Amino acid sequence: MNPKVIIFDTTLRDGEQALQASLSVKEKLQIALCLEKTGIDIMEIGFPVSSPGDFKSVQTISKNIKNSRICSLARCVEKDIDIAAEAMSASDSFRIHVFLATSTLHMESKLKKNFNEITDMAIYSVKRALRYTDDVEFSCEDASRTTMDNLCRIVEKLINSGVKTINIPDTVGYSIPNELSYIIKNLFERVPNIHKSIISVHCHNDLGMAVGNSISAIQAGARQIEGTINGLGERAGNTALEEIIMAIKVREDLLGVSTNINYKEIYRTSQIISRICNMPIPANKAIVGSNAFSHSSGIHQDGVLKNRENYEIIDPISIGFKRVKLNLTSRSGRAAVKHYMSEMGYKDTDYNINELYSDFLKLADKKGQVFDYDLESLAFINKQQDELEHFSLQFFSVQSISNGLSTASVKLLCGKKVYIESSTTSNGPVDAIYQALNRITHFPIILKKFELTAKGQGKDALGQVDILVEYKKRKFHGVGLATDIIESSAKAMINVLNNIWQAKQVNKKLKKLKK
């Protein structure tokens, strides 16, 4: 049985510090419940002395979390420690996390104290925290820039004082992996009572080294890793826990440790935290980014279809990611095209793969990304897709009042016929246009995603709207680009309507062929 690495999550404390707006008590509780379900060992749920709102959040979470140990942060100040304990009093067991800077820079320029005074403050605070719980963690703030002699001295004294966990933070993301590894190894070699405490690290990502530093610390003997989901945190953020967790799982042969994490909850928890915190996940983010299990290269797509392990070291299903995504672009090969056609239920004999692939490449160069319904059209309707713009928006007018009703009128060309329709709604001008268009087309669509992205700056900036709708259990994409956001929204919906119409023509033709 491999030794366990304790996963310490500080999304609700350090992670929240990076947000533009504070989270509500309800939002924090929702995140805490997700973390608990993911199997997080310890969650740092706040800094109770900082505000009445944070105190209430810690108090509420303490009453609801049963399977993870909760923890609150406190400075080496009596009031901080007392309030932290009070806020968590509803919990059967909790941890108080006390911190104090130990580097010469921080001691002299920030705290105006010498090392002996810092040591005395730390020991006094630990003893006060031990009045409330036997689980006390101490962080030597800016440990990575603390002299090795001072760090060893204070760690030894803190352990003798009853500290169960000693945290070695790379507070400003200054270290590189072999440097942090050297610090941890030195502590194990030079501190005689080190075996009585768990050594933890808390790494920041200012140089992009947080995960690498944390892994090197594990290899040196650290058995607790602190971080946040999605790497949220001050400045460039913290160690991304999902990356650490999966690195431990995938490279268990090399690291020789394990965790208590429920891996299948990782993706869901990441998405929920991203949404609640209004912090989008970069597409290329490891483990949880939208491209983490996407393949565009034809060689890679062919390899994945033959054997997933050719180009994937993690089974996406294992973290709750539903499926591998093969992007259809001009870099895709025949294998990806055949895969999509097969997924839609078509046999190789239903179409000519050479003709389809040739037409696909032309469309991909023109359109960028091709979707399954585009392939259907190329295979069965119109090779160049030059005559498929059945719907064309001729005119639109919108009147909207803030906190009131919005009215839209549209003039839509449908083939050779022109229709005029209007709609009034309380959901804003974009929804009013969409409702008016729906009254004309009568397509039972459900809007699943609406994204607005600014292209450029100033008065000439363009607004790109990307939407995803569901029509009869099938997904359709639409894109619109214009200087006016409402116009780009309308164009995106027209794009979707044309894609749906195109798919309907394919179905009609296939039904005739079957007859």
Q: Going by C-beta distance under 8 Å and a sequence separation of 6 or more, which residues neighbour residue 377? A: 385, 388, 502, 503, 505, 506
Q: Is 195 annotated as a binding residue?
A: no
Query: If you search the block for the tokens 């033709």, which residue do you land on?
Result: 509
Contact 136, 126 (CB under 8 A): yes
Query: What would the two tokens of residue 427 be?
Result: 């959901």
Q: Going by C-beta distance under 8 Å and a sequence separation of 6 or more, which residues neighbour residue 372? A: 340, 343, 344
182 backbone dihedrals φ, ψ, rounded to 5°? -60, -40
Give how far the C-alpha of residue 26 lies from the chain's centroid of Cα atoms, to the nearest Å: 20
| Pairwise CA distance, residues 280 & 270, whole Å | 10
Q: Is 202 annotated as a binding residue?
A: yes
Contact 481, 462 (CB under 8 A): yes
Contact 417, 441 (CB under 8 A): no
Q: Is 477 annotated as a binding residue?
A: no
Contact 329, 298 (CB under 8 A): no
Query: What would the two tokens of residue 330 be?
Result: 């001009």
Which strands sit side by side in the sheet containing 406-414, from one edge to the other?
391-400, 406-414, 417-425
β-pairing, 136-141 vs 94-101, is parallel
Q: Is 135 annotated as a binding residue?
A: no
3-state secondary structure 288-347: CCCCCCEECCHHHHHHHHHCHHHCCCCCHHHHCCCCCEECECCCCCHHHHHHHHHHCCCC
| Pairwise CA distance, residues 358 & 365, whole Å | 11
| Pairwise CA distance, residues 487 & 397, whole Å | 10
| Pairwise CA distance, residues 120 & 114, whole Å | 10
188 backbone dihedrals φ, ψ, rounded to 5°? -65, -30
Query: If you search the block for the tokens 């689980």, which residue do you land on?
Result: 135
Binding site membership for Mn(2+): which residues? 14, 202, 204, 238
